[in-house]
Amino acid sequence: MKLTDCTRRVLFPILAISLHGHSGASAEQEAFKSHPPLRPLPQASNRPLEKGPAYFVDPAKGNDAFAGTEETPWKTIAQGLSSLQAGDTLVLRGGTYYEHLYCSAAGSAEKPITIRSYPGELAIVDGSFREFFEDHRNAWEPFPEGSPGEFRSRTTYRNLRNLHGRFGDSMIGLQIYYYIEDLRGERYVGPGVWYNRLTGRIHIRLQHYKAEGAVRGRSELARKFLPSPLHELHSYAGETDPRNLQLIIAPFHSVPLVIDKSQHTRFQDLVIRGGAYDVVDIRHAEHLVFDNVVVYAGTYGIKAQNTGPFKFQNSAIYGSVPPWSTRGETSLRERPWQSKGRNLTRLNTHALLIPATSDEYSVYYFPYNHDWEISYSEFTDGHDGVYLGDIVNLKFHHNYVHNFQDDGIYLSSFRPLYNPQARPREIYQNFIGACLITFAYGGDARASSEVHVYRNIISGSYTVSDHGGPPWEGMRWYHNTVFSDPRNLFDLRHTKPGQTWQVRNNLIIGGTAQPGKPQEGAAWAGNVSDDKLEKPGSIQLTKESTAVDAGEPIPGDWPDPLRESETGKPDAGALPLGAEPLKVGRNGRMVF
């Protein structure tokens, strides 16, 4: 993988870091008191201001009694949102806004409303307790009755359900312990917090921790040809005194941004963080755009109900599963019907993107989540990744989906989505890697349209597997490059006769091109196995590759952006011989 933008000016403080922030680099360790970041931290955009009415907000110099001009800005975003009309732009000066925002702004197609950062500055919407970031030296006190290195909050926080936490310098998540004994004892699994509901105090322990476990993304050939996207467990060896660290500690009920029935609204060049359960809650929005927005997920990143059209571009949702955490630590064990032991840590990020449909009791009718385009964006570091099943008319392309303890992309519908105008859902030209299951099913509803999965680069343990629900009808898997154990290539235990699966022209690296076991209802053609690629670190074909001219023509009504670049028979895999590299992620910054 070639990096086109592997150093970036970061948020706090301004430092240069590498893309993946691997442990063991002394310069990075010195730059970050906690641990080098897993992902590039956000940087300011120089997007120019558009012409038209504009109002300004400044968290340091503003006053809500002012007029909201550039010379006399408001202090809070909430004040600005309550004043916007169609065609207005709300410009946020750089800094952190400790607010919980409600946006029901109404623009029009000709006059959209824009909420954005000032050019060259970065605005952060933060729903956390500000004292743990801004006054961290006075926020904690040693707790000698606990274990070595244990601290507790000086302030009492009553009436909370639970917490969520991150290191403020690296944005890596903290473990959220169910029991104080595990924060202190032999089951300690890395830096984390625990909330004492009886006293209202927050306990924290940041002792060093040596992580041991397997690499996620297990194919050895994937390691050879895609060295950077593999994710290994790291150990924690950073600062142990929370008084020396800026931390983001949020109460469970914190939702920094609620978008409710907003229409023709654009969010640009922002960071949203400090939510514990949901960070962004979108309800019944129309013609919504997120452009260059970074969301740091709590339990969930974005939940969206009955929203569309929606564009999510050049943006990111980053989860908070720390790099020393394993799948087994966060699995629920205390179930009334099946006791397997004691819960250890809570799923600090269950999933990044959750679309949902309305219930009958919601009163408001709206036609599902529909007409979404998610492009050139990044989704990383959770238990699950993105749920795409409950969206009618979807294009998901040029995205980077990486590092999930379970499912990368969830394809099931949880409710019937009947829509006679539904077009095939398209998932194409993405990189999806370091997942236990790359594509997964679990809901039992029948979908209303086909799905086309094509021209993707895929690296994981299982390519397709299911949790008990029937897979979609009309699946088209074609022209993908797959690094996978061939025995786990397509595990479709609930495929039923009559389900029209087509698996064509895929390039399987490191195994047979045939499924591990026969699958009813699936047609296979033009799939080949090959490891004769250009060089380590690249997936480009060579003239000697058996993938060249090895495919079969695909129907003309199947979408394929590279169809015209094929001169002979189709090549198998995501990239034909001589094709331009695939660019994915924010602004196409990663090149394969």
Closest CA to 389 of 472, 462, 307: 472
What is residue 10's predicted lDDT score, i.e. its pLDDT?
27
What is residue 534's predicted lDDT score, i.e. its pLDDT?
62
What is residue 20's predicted lDDT score, i.e. its pLDDT?
30
Phi-psi region of 65 (alpha: psi -120 to 50; beta: other; left: phi over 0): alpha
Q: Are 430 and 400 a contacting pair, CB within 8 Å?
A: yes
What is residue 6's predicted lDDT score, i.e. its pLDDT?
29
Closest CA to 244 of 167, 356, 314: 167
Closest CA to 252 of 304, 204, 298, 198: 298
Q: Are 322 and 344 a contacting pair, CB within 8 Å?
A: no
Burial class for 535, CB neighbours closer than 10 Å (0-12, 13-18, 19+): exposed
Question: Using CA atoms in the order 107, 110, 114, 120, what is the torsion angle rounded to 10 degrees?
Answer: -170
Please tell me what DSSP assigns to residue 445: P
What is residue 159's predicted lDDT score, i.e. its pLDDT?
95
Cα 30 to Cα 27: distance, rounded to the nearest angstrom: 5
Instruction: Report in angstroms the alpha-carbon separations of 277 from 36, 98, 246, 325.
Output: 25, 17, 21, 19
Give Dmax (Cα) for the chain: 74
What is residue 533's predicted lDDT score, i.e. its pLDDT?
67
pTM of the model: 0.92
Instruction: Report in angstroms the alpha-carbon separations of 528 from 447, 458, 475, 551.
Output: 30, 15, 19, 8
What is residue 396's predicted lDDT score, i.e. its pLDDT?
98
Please tell me what DSSP assigns to residue 309: S
- Those residues with Cβ within 8 angstroms of residue 51's Cβ, 6 or more apart along the chain or in another chain: none
Rounded mean pLDDT for each run of 10 residues along the chain, 592 residues in total: 30 29 43 94 96 97 97 98 97 98 98 98 98 98 96 97 96 96 94 97 97 60 56 89 98 97 97 97 96 98 95 98 86 68 85 82 72 97 92 95 91 70 87 89 68 91 72 80 68 59 84 54 73 67 88 92 89 92 94 88
Q: Are 118 and 95 a contacting pair, CB within 8 Å?
A: no
